[in-house]
Each structure stands twice: as C-alpha cells, then as structure tokens.
Chain A
Amino acid sequence: MVSEDVLRTHLQELRRGTVVVASLVALRRPDYGYALLQRLTDHGFPVDANTLYPLLRRLEDQGLLTSEWNTEESRPRKFYRTSDEGESMLNRLLDDLAAVQTSITGLIQGVDR
C-alpha cells in the first residue's frame, strides 16, 4: 500500500500546473480572488488561498491577466480577466494538456504513435 504522504506529493506535482490553466479558463469571465477560488473549488480544482492570490498577481505581471478595480460594491474588489496574450498562451497549454492525455491513453492501450 502506497503511503498517504507519497500519494499526496505525487498528486500535488500532477495538479501544480493545472491551477494556471484552470485560472486562465475561469477568468475568461472576470472575477475577483475569493469568488474565483470558490468557482475553481466547485469545479474540482481545490486550491489554497495563499497560492491563488499571489499567483493571480504573478500572471498579471506576466501580462496574461488584466485587472480592474470595482468599487461599487460593499468593499473594493480587484477583478481579473484573461488578456489576449493569456488567451493565446492558454490555447497552447490546453493543446499540450490534450496531447498529454492522448499520449497517456495511447500508452495505456499500447498503441504506437
């Protein structure tokens, strides 16, 4: 039986990159930090708040997200949205994700590429 710790580490490794993909997809519809966190969780991408908030900043710095402050509600919220640049990178990432899935399927079925 594989120990829980080993399993958790591998799952973490597997999941790490997908948070970026999931965020870029989800932010095609603008949203603020906590709402995005909930949406991701609801869609099966549980992510820690202390990972997601700094990640959004970093993606914004890289030009993959744009942001806008919304001060109309009870508290000021920063809404992020996937930029054009983010969209084209997202497409590359999605292609690669699909390629990984295809490769794995092929490997499982023993079919040569």
Chain B
Amino acid sequence: MNTLTDRYLAATLRSVPAQRRDEIATELRASIEDMIEDRAGGGEDAAAAEREVLTELGNPDRLAARYADRRLQLIGPTYYLVWLRLLKLLLSFIPALAGTVVTVVAVVDGRGFGAIGPGLVVALHVAVHISFWLTLTFVLIERSQPTVELPDWSVDELPDVPAHRDVSLVDTIASVAMLVLTIGYLPLQHYQSWVRASDGDNIPVLDPALWSFWLPALIVILLAIAVFEIVKYRIGRWSWPLFAVKALLNLAFTLVLAGLALSDALLNPALGERLSWLADADNRGLVNALIALGAAVVLVWDLIDTALKTRRRTT
C-alpha cells in the first residue's frame, strides 16, 4: 500500500514519539478516512477528496510537531533576548582580543606587515565559533525540560540615557585609525623606510635592536590606548577614573619614547652612514631632544585638555 494517505501518515509519524506512534496512526488514519468519506459522499471524486483533505491537514512535520508539542523555532521569545545580549557582549571584545594577541605575537616574531593577516583570520574564526556554540547552547536550553529559570528583568538594568556625549563616534574612529596607522608604521619602517644603504638594502629608521623588547612594548601600549578609546566611546563621558587611565597610558607611551630618545637608543645608528648630518653626535642629540620635547608637549597638552573636559563634566 502506498497511497497518498499512507505516505502522509508515514511522514507524520516519523517524528512523533515512538511509544504513541501506533495509537496516533490508527486515530489519524480513521480521521483522514472520515474526512475523505464525507467529501466523497458529497459527490466528489475520491482521489481529489484525498488530495484536498491532506492539503488541509498541511505539512506533516508541522502536524507532528503539534502532536509532540515541539518548538518550531530555533530560539523562542523566552531566551532570544538573553541570547542576543550574550552574543553581542562576547562578540564585542573576544574576537578583537584574540586577533590582537595573535598579531602582537606575529609582530614580535618579526613578521612585519604579514602579522595582520593571521590576526584577522583568528578573529574571524573566534567570532564564528562563539556564534555557533552560544547559539547551539541556547537551542538546547530552548528544548530542555524542565525549562531553565532566568533571572527576572529589573529596572536597575536600565542603561543611562545617552543624553550628551563628550565623545563622538567620528573622534573615536579617527583616534583608533591614527593608533592603528602608528602601530602599522613600526613594522613597516623596518622593511620600507625609504632610506636605502649604498647597496640598496633598506635601513630601518628605528634601531632594530629595539624589537627585542621596547618596540613590542610600545605596540602593546598603543593597542591598550586603542582599546581605551573604544571603552571611552562606550561610556560616552569623561570621569576622573577615565582620566587617570588615559593619563597613565599616555605617560607610559611618552616615557618609553622620550627615554629611548634621550639615551640615544631610538634611532638606527646605521642611519648615520646614509645621512652624514646624523652621524654627528651633537646633531643626534638635538634630534633626540626634539623628539623627547615633542612627546612631552603632546602629553601635557592632551592631559590639560582632558582634565578641563573632565572637570566640566563632573562639576
């Protein structure tokens, strides 16, 4: 027997709990036959009536889900908002963090510009993994019996009204872009400084010996500043703790840069071979002093500016 009704019953019963399958089969078959008989009794062709009845009953998977009281959604309204919030939270920093770590490791490894590729790939992989496993977890929770108790929403969870932002998105993007370019310049100058030795080899501007510690340290500080910029944007307004963190980060960067310059450890000694003016110790001292002074001026200017903004916000 392979009538439409048989096929419909088989398709429906496939996903109905086994212990009730036979009973549902007998009952559903009788119901279908009743319905067909009723229509055929009205003078309708039996085959056409069968088609019509089965069409009316609809997709067998849907009918089976109704019998089994099964969810026809991946994640229902009970858990959807929690899922979405967790997903956003995890995706907002973990992929970027993993990608950054991989990039820094590759830079320290001396991969130069090639370091960005693996970082991006790792960030993407991590994002896909987070999305998949989190969603899978919630799909299982959605289907778990008994239902999982979620903490009730409370008014304390309400975020502050973003009434007035001290920090605009454009400023944040510009700052982060500048930082990324600066970070990118550090490995770039090692391979492509546009200063060439007499044999045509590239002469890095910065002392290659610094790659053993100080340049990676600078990159880490710059990355920390970039993360700070993003956090600052999320918070949206200045506060004294925020000011303290910014001051600390900027101070660290300036101290490293100025310290290296003043101890004449920043510029590549090999530059003197090409730019004879730099070979002179006094001239080198002047350049180093200017670098240190410039860094100090920028630091002080920035701190005063930020302090003023913070005071305006907090008083």
A residues whose Cβ falls under 8 Å from a Cβ of B:
32-35, 38, 48-51, 53-54, 57-58, 75-78
Contact = CB atoms under 8 A, between A and B. Distances in A.
Given A33-B34, A53-B31, 20 more contacts: A32-B30, A33-B30, A33-B31, A34-B34, A34-B35, A49-B31, A49-B35, A49-B56, A49-B57, A50-B58, A50-B66, A51-B66, A53-B27, A57-B24, A57-B67, A58-B69, A75-B29, A76-B26, A78-B26, A78-B30
Nearest to A54: B66
Contacts of A50: 56-58, 62-63, 66
A48 B28 CA distance: 14
A75 B67 contact: no
B22 to A, nearest CB: 11
B: interface residue count bin: 20 to 34
A58 B58 CA distance: 19
13 contacts: A32-B30, A32-B34, A34-B34, A49-B31, A49-B57, A50-B56, A53-B63, A53-B67, A54-B66, A76-B30, A77-B27, A77-B30, A78-B26
Contacts of A38: 38
A32 B57 CA distance: 17
Contacts of A78: 23, 26-27, 30
Interface of B: 23-24, 26-31, 33-35, 38, 56-58, 62-63, 66-67, 69
Contact of B28 (A35, A51, A53, A58): A53
Contact of B31 (A34, A48, A51, A58): A34
A20 B101 CA distance: 60
A32 B63 CA distance: 18
B56 to A, nearest CB: 6
Contacts of A32: 30-31, 34
Nearest to A75: B30
Contacts of B66: 50-51, 54
A75 B24 CA distance: 14
Contacts of A57: 24, 67
Contacts of B27: 33, 53, 77-78
B56 A48 contact: yes
Q: Which 6 A-B pairs have the closest CB atoms?
A: A54-B66, A34-B34, A33-B31, A75-B30, A54-B67, A78-B27
B24 to A, nearest CB: 7
A54 B56 CA distance: 15
Contacts of B34: 32-35, 75
A35 B31 CA distance: 9
Nearest to B34: A34
Given A33-B27, A34-B38, A49-B57, A75 B63 contact: no
Contacts of B29: 75
Contacts of B26: 76, 78
Given A34-B38, A49-B56, A76-B26, A54 B63 contact: yes
Contacts of A53: 27-28, 31, 63, 67
Contacts of B57: 49-50
| A50, A75, A78 — most chain B CB neighbours (10 Å) | A50
B270 to A, nearest CB: 77
Contacts of B30: 32-34, 75-78
A78 B28 CA distance: 10
Contacts of A76: 26, 30
A54 B12 CA distance: 12
Nearest to B23: A78
Contacts of B38: 34, 38
A49 B28 CA distance: 10
A26 B34 CA distance: 19
Contacts of B62: 50
